Copies of this chain bind each other. A is one copy, B any other.
Amino acid sequence: MAFGIIAAGGRGARLGATVPKFELELEGRPLLAYTLEVFQDAPSIESVVLVVPPDRKEAWSVSRLRELGLSKPAVTVAGGTTRRGSVGLGLLAVEGESGVAVVHDAARPLLTVELLERACDIPAGADGVVTAVPVTDTVKEVDSSVVTATLDRERLVAVQTPQAFRLDVLRNAHAAAERDAFEGTDDASLVERIGGRIVVVEGSRENIKVTYGEDLERARVVLLERSGG
């Protein structure tokens, strides 16, 4: 069983939006509704902590989540000023001492139950699982716009969420990051930093992060294909 933490942070400034990204509508439903549906349907998910910007906490009350079909135990908490801080506050609201915590960004509305279940299945000997896809671009390291190296893309992966961790390890990792003011770009990096062993499982190219306006269009296309349209 796993505790779900849905990080619904960013304001979507790059989308030119005044509403938070997860409230943008796709086919008449807020992006967050898609994620909630998957967390409801995934058998491994026991409960859900939703982390939103403080000024959106009332709007996303548990009764609203119920209206959107989430019947599992749930709580909405106010996030912090960074992604890492927000997930850390979400972790504080997880009522459990052991088990698995699975973190997902609400800006990725196209995850599936299958993908979420795959993340939650942490193999023996590992501290966590990240979903990831191969890197298809050539990636170079630069210093002031001058190329310093071309990386071997066979050894690289592009990481997504969901990411799942042993709850105690993730708590330790967040405590250490908070102490050292280390932000990281994902939760796994916090766990790696304290020596945790992270394994990669197959993500999905469809599980895009909605960052730019064109991404909403892409998301629409994926939804259309899924519904057989």
What is the interface of chain A, defined by CB distance below 8 A to chain B? Answer: 130, 132, 135-143, 145-147, 149-151, 153, 155-160, 184-186, 188-189, 192, 197-201, 205-206, 209, 211-212, 214, 217-218, 221-222, 225
Contacts and interface: CB of A to CB of B under 8 A. Distances in A.
Given A147-B130, A150-B192, A138 B185 contact: yes
A139 B156 contact: yes
Given A145-B199, A156-B142, A150 B184 contact: yes
Given A139-B139, A146-B198, A147-B199, A214 B209 contact: no
Given A221-B217, A221-B218, A159 B138 contact: yes
Contacts of A160: 137
A153 B184 CA distance: 10
A138 B191 CA distance: 14
25 contacts: A135-B139, A136-B209, A137-B160, A137-B209, A138-B159, A139-B156, A139-B158, A139-B159, A140-B157, A140-B159, A141-B155, A141-B156, A142-B156, A145-B201, A146-B200, A147-B197, A147-B198, A147-B200, A149-B192, A150-B184, A150-B189, A150-B192, A153-B185, A214-B222, A221-B221
A199 to B, nearest CB: 5
Given A137-B158, A139-B135, A140-B159, A146 B197 contact: yes
